Amino acid sequence: MLETLVRHLTMVRLTVAAALVLSAVGCAGLIDDGSGGLTPEQAEARKAFIQKALPRFIESCTVCHNGSRADIGFLAGTSENQIHDTIMGFDPQVVNTDAPGSSRVLTKSLHEGPELLPEQASDILQWINLEQAAVPDPGGDGGPIFETPQFLPQICTDESMPGSPTCPINTISLDDIGVAGAKISFVAQAFGSALYLTELRLIPGAGGVYIEHPLFVTWPGDATVPKPDSLDRFFNVKMNLEATAAPEEQLIGGGLAAFVGFVASDKITIHFRVAGLFKTDDGGGTTVAAGCKRLDSFKANAQTSFAQPVAGAAQSCISCHNAGNAQSAVNMVGVQAADDAAIQPACDQIRTRVDFQAIATSGIYLAPDPANANHPFKFNATQLAAFKANVDKWIADEQVAP
């Protein structure tokens, strides 16, 4: 099972010089190791949290995440054990005991706060590994395991014709995890050392579908040691779809993802924190990609790059993405308009092609990359760099927008 095998996962090294932010949380030492009523494994994990992980969180994270700000207080509490319970139960999940190295507390890069230093990340990862070892055996009373069978993606070689023999649409049934008729679908392309998925959708069955936290996992070589998505990019995804859900509601995280290190010839599985039929007790909502929040920055920095050819380029993005198959892939109609009402829908669409967890591998950059054999138009390296320099300014503003 994934819970056991991913213990072999090695940590993705995090490197950047960051200032340390010191903050007090009302604990200055080992007050209570929380061992009462815990198994030996749980007690060892609790001790590692208090002695190794918590001091690191205090150094870099508590000033923002101590509960003083709404919705991000995963370190709230007045004692070590309270803070431990908060972070372990936080929603959306920031500690992933299925794949410790992909936990959001480790993979969150430079944001409003600093990126973790390597030694900080190492101590936190040691703690999470012990938490994983303390999880009850999934075959015992640890609850159901929601993981699809292994699946070998069919690769698209002509992205202008999705659904054709040269660009098959992959489907992974969720029947085996108890969600009859539901499935995950996507178009897969091989791009260098990454598997690039577009049109990534959760399609409900007759009873609808509900999922939390899908985690993509590749099974390299002999298929004995899995390799989870190191970014755990869908950690906060919750989707609750009725059978009649519209296509735009079905998109998972905007509908695209570039999984660096996933080889096209290797099988994949998808693990879910929760999977089941449509829930009727929460209003029938679904998680849909957020719209463009910084239209002012888009207009100032990125609009021209999409609407007009980059210097030396034969055409612009809007040359294709205002009609036909290209429009259905990313609808940029209105990006060249003068009024906000027309620009906003185009900005919303373009935003769905930005991977805020790995900006450099966003769809808007991978598609026209000169190394992409599948896209009909490509920049050269100089043109792509100029395009990215402008668009990155908008993405940076969009990323930190409230």
> Binning pLDDT at 50, 70 and 90, where does residue 221 land?
confident
* Three-state SS annotation for 176-239: HHCCCCCEEEEEEEEECCEEEEEEEEEECECCEEEEEEEEEEEECCCCCCCEECCCCCCCCCEE
Say what the pLDDT of residue 97 is.
Answer: 85
Q: Which of 111-115, 192-196, 237-241, 361-365 has the highest mean pLDDT?
A: 237-241
Dihedral (C-alpha) 115, 117, 122, 128: value to the nearest 10 degrees?
-20
> Binning pLDDT at 50, 70 and 90, where does residue 100 land?
confident
Q: Is residue 24's pLDDT more than 70?
A: no
For residue 171, what are the β-bridge partners? 185
> Binning pLDDT at 50, 70 and 90, where does residue 22 land?
very low
Q: Are 182 and 210 in contact (CB under 8 A)?
A: no
pLDDT digit string, tens, across residues 348-390: 889 888 888 778 888 889 888 888 877 888 899 999 999 999 9
> Binning pLDDT at 50, 70 and 90, where does residue 144 land?
low
What H or E segment, with its residue span, contains residue 88? helix 80-89
Q: What is the mean pLDDT of residues 37-66?
A: 91
Q: What is the mean pLDDT of the chain?
A: 82
Dihedral (C-alpha) 319, 322, 325, 331: value to the nearest 10 degrees?
120
Say what the pLDDT of residue 140 is.
Answer: 47
Total Cβ atoms within 10 A of residue 250: 21
Q: In the 8-state DSSP scheme, what is residue 241?
A: E
Q: Is residue 61's pLDDT more than 70?
A: yes
Structural domain boundaries in the chain? 2-134, 146-276, 295-399
> Binning pLDDT at 50, 70 and 90, where does residue 34 land?
very low
- Whether residue 165 is preceded by a cis peptide bond, meaning omega within 30 degrees of 0, is no
Which structure tokens are listed for 345? Answer: 């829908």
CA distance linking residue 298 with residue 293, whole number of Å = 9
Residue 399 CB contacts under 8 Å (≥ 6 apart), including other chains? 111, 356, 359
Is the model's pTM score more than 0.85? no
Shortest CA distance to 43 belongs to which of 53, 33, 28, 52? 33
Q: Is residue 76's pLDDT more than 90?
A: yes
